[in-house]
Amino acid sequence: MHETSIGTDTTGRAEAADGTANGTTGTGGRRTRWRVVDIVVASVIGVATGLVFLLWNNVGYAWFMAADALTPGLGGIAVGIWLIGGVLGGLIIRKPGAALYVELLAAMVSALIGNQWGIETLYSGLVQGLGAELVFLAFGYRRFGVVVAMLAGAAAGVGAWTLELFTSGNLQKSAEFLALYLGTLVVSGAVLAGLLGWLVVRALAATGALNRFGAGRDVTGRV
């Protein structure tokens, strides 16, 4: 699994032709304007991820509490699944704002259907999605390989850690706790959101479901 083999959809003739045909250009020649299909698919991903969050709210929280009881700060190892929306959105849609949109929409679904955190879920979705978004932005929305996916997941974890300094009172806790919690969030985000998210996208692409996206063409080789 080499990043250069899947990390960009900017060099193929099909992508260039697609951009020309739609009359839009973006960073490095990529289209950055959202199509209707981008909005629809991003929304479907967001809702589906929100339903996954609902399932994880009990399983993940139980894991979080058990790990944190063992060593305070270790609970962050269970958080990664809650960070996966931004990674999926960024990897599939490959447009500015996609990571933020999908993660925030997933958080909205989780909050509206009902969870134990209520409105705070939206704050979490916002900062976690922003963390992932900043990584895709840093790579100019050109690279979407496994390393970038893991960095996006890790950055979403940093976003969660930063928010909880204030919403969970973590700012008052010890440096040891904060360091361990940050480390576990980064690892969990990189693995459970980044690596797992990348694998999920690859699996979806292999079915042909993403053929209208660069993520699908990277896997199937279709133009």
pLDDT at 7 over 60: no
Tens-digit pLDDT profile for residues 127-177: 999 999 999 999 999 999 999 999 999 999 999 999 999 999 999 999 999
pLDDT for position 179:
98
The least confident of 5-9, 78-82, 106-110, 208-212 is 5-9
pTM of the model: 0.85
Looking at the predicted structure, is the pLDDT value of residue 104 above 60?
yes
**CB proximity list for 33: less than 8 A, separation 6 or greater:** 22, 24, 26, 95
175-195 per-position pLDDT tens digit: 999 999 999 999 999 999 999
pLDDT at residue 221, as a whole number: 73
The predicted-structure confidence for 64-92, as pLDDT tens digits, reads as follows: 999 999 999 999 999 999 999 999 999 99
Asked whether residue 50 carries a pLDDT value surpassing 80, the answer given is yes
- Please compute the mean of the pLDDT values over residues 47-73 and round it to a whole number: 96
Please determine, for residue 61, whether its predicted confidence score (pLDDT) is greater than 50.
yes
The pLDDT mean for the chain works out to: 87
